[in-house]
Structure 1
Amino acid sequence: MTFSLPIADEANQLLSTDPLALLIGMVLDQQIPLEKAFSSPYVLAQRLGHAPTAEELAEFDPEALIAIFAKPPALHRFPKAMAARVQEVCRALVGNYGGDAANLWRDAADGKELLKRVGALPGFGKQKSQIFVALLGKQYDVQPPGWREAAGAYGEEGAHRSVADIVDGDSLVRVRAFKKEMKAAAKSSSTG
């Protein structure tokens, strides 16, 4: 599968071929535009001179990693917190999956197990975990039995709810419209 997010071709190629880059993009996908989140793994690789491994990031000097994340343009709106989060996720991969991000999903027996594994990662709550399961199923062809159910509404065929559903400019517009609608509904329910 080749990603076609509205980002540089090289960034899409890295997301398509490097499971860790995909996972880092998902880690960073909060409080910033998804284009920024999913292009940042490529920028990180450029700054390091190579695509990093989970072991490398897990063992990286925390202050040096923060400096890399904070270098303008910063990889995230909150470079210190997100450098630490990426490092925590990489440490979990090293400790539980032999340092290979693909091992997180490679032999998951079913969607429930996959969701449980993803949800055990630092910073992955229920919604983020479901979105990542949907992203793996829809864009990466990781489809253990029950993956759509485990992903909840994000796994629905034809949905336009998250990054899992973005395959072109039109689908991006539809996902953005859905998110805007959800924010408006949440705002009106909190003020009503």
Structure 2
Amino acid sequence: MIDPPVSHAHRIRHAEPSLGSPSWQLDSCVFCSNQSADSIEPFPIAGQPIGHYGAFAAPYDLVRRLGHEPDAAELAGYDPEALTAVFAERPAPHRFPKAMAARVQELCRVLVERYDGDPAKIWTEAPDGRTAFKRINELPGFGKQKSQIFLALLGKRFDVRPTGWQEAAGQYGDADAHYSVADITDPESLLKVRVHKQRMKAASKA
């Protein structure tokens, strides 16, 4: 039995006060083996509406299916058909497992080619927040909003705070905000983020 990684994502799952109402959606999650920012690995859910439990469980499910925790180099060189088969196992971590497997593999290849397979170099070697944001935004599956949220997550939850990180993270860098996964620390903050998501959804339909 493989123990699930201890991560911000794992803690958020246990902050959920009502298991029966996963009503909001997340576009990405973070895969990390411990609470150190050096071990964080981006894991995109590629903009598809995945319930937050499924999103946060996806990295752990991948570890469980492979039988060990893979690194970027392993996934980059994995046989594409075999990786698709892993992603297609039930429950599927994505509505389109073949596309998701390809996206994850593409991301891992970028990590290998640009950062020697070490995702932490994206931010530890960035001279400032603007550069860190730019590097994250260049990753497959990471648009502007997702990149800002990820940068805010690094700053708020993992103390990765290069100069100007809050400005680069936009509204998600606001210390008092409850806009995203970066702001969830307990059931109360989770509910505040839910309210914000629901308001934004209602406004988009108005």
Tell me which amino acid in the other structure corresponds to 1:185. Answer: A
Corresponding letter in the other structure for 1:5: I
Counterpart in 2 of 1:14? Answer: 33
Q: Which aligned pairs between 1:1-192 and structure 2 lie closer than 5 A?
A: 3=8, 4-7=11-14, 14=33, 16-17=35-36, 18-20=39-41, 23-24=42-43, 27-28=44-45, 30=47, 31-188=49-206
Residue pair 2:103, 2:140 contacting (<8 A) in 1 also: yes
Structure 1 residue 33: Cα displacement: 2.0
Secondary structure of the residue that 2:161 maps to in structure 1? coil
Q: Secondary structure at the match of 1:5?
A: helix
Are 1:5 and 1:168, in contact at CA under 8 Å, matched by a contact in 2? yes
Give CA deviations for 1:109-167 in whole Å, capped at 9, x if unaligned: 11100010001111211111101110111111110010000000011002111111111
Deviation digits for residues 30-84 of structure 1, max 9, x if unmatched? 3212332122111101111111100000011111111111100111222111111
User: In the alignment, is the contact (CA less than 8 A) between 1:5 and 1:35 conserved in 2?
Assistant: no
- Report the secondary structure of 2:50's partner residue: coil
Letter in 2 for 1:182: M
One-letter amino acid of the structure 2 residue matched with residue 28 of structure 1: I
- Structure richer in helix, relative to its length: 1
CA–CA distance in structure 2, aligned partners of residues 70 and 2 of structure 1: 24
| Structure-1-length-normalised TM-score | 0.88
Q: CA 1:118–1:98 in 2, change beyond 3 Å: closer, same or farther?
A: same
AA of the residue aligned to 2:172: Y
Task: Report Cα offsets for 1:10-47 as digits up to 9, x if no partner.
Answer: x9973635312xx11xx126321233212211110111
CA gap 1:163/1:88 in 2 versus in 1, 3 angstroms: same
Residues in 1 aligned to 2:101 and 2:35: alpha-carbon distance in whole angstroms: 22
1:172 and 1:160 mapped to 2: Cα distance? 8
Contact 1:29 1:38 in 2 (8 A): no
Contact 1:29/1:37 (<8 A) preserved = no
The structure richer in strand per residue is: 2
Amino acid at match of 1:154: Y
Structure 1 range deviating more: 149-158 or 78-87: 78-87
State how many pairs are aligned.
182
AA in 2 matched with 1:86 = V
Counterpart code for 1:60: Y
Aligned residues: CA RMSD: 2.0
Which aligned segments of 4 or more residues in structure 1 are displaced greater than 2 angstroms?
Answer: 11-18
**Share of identical aligned residues, percent?**
54
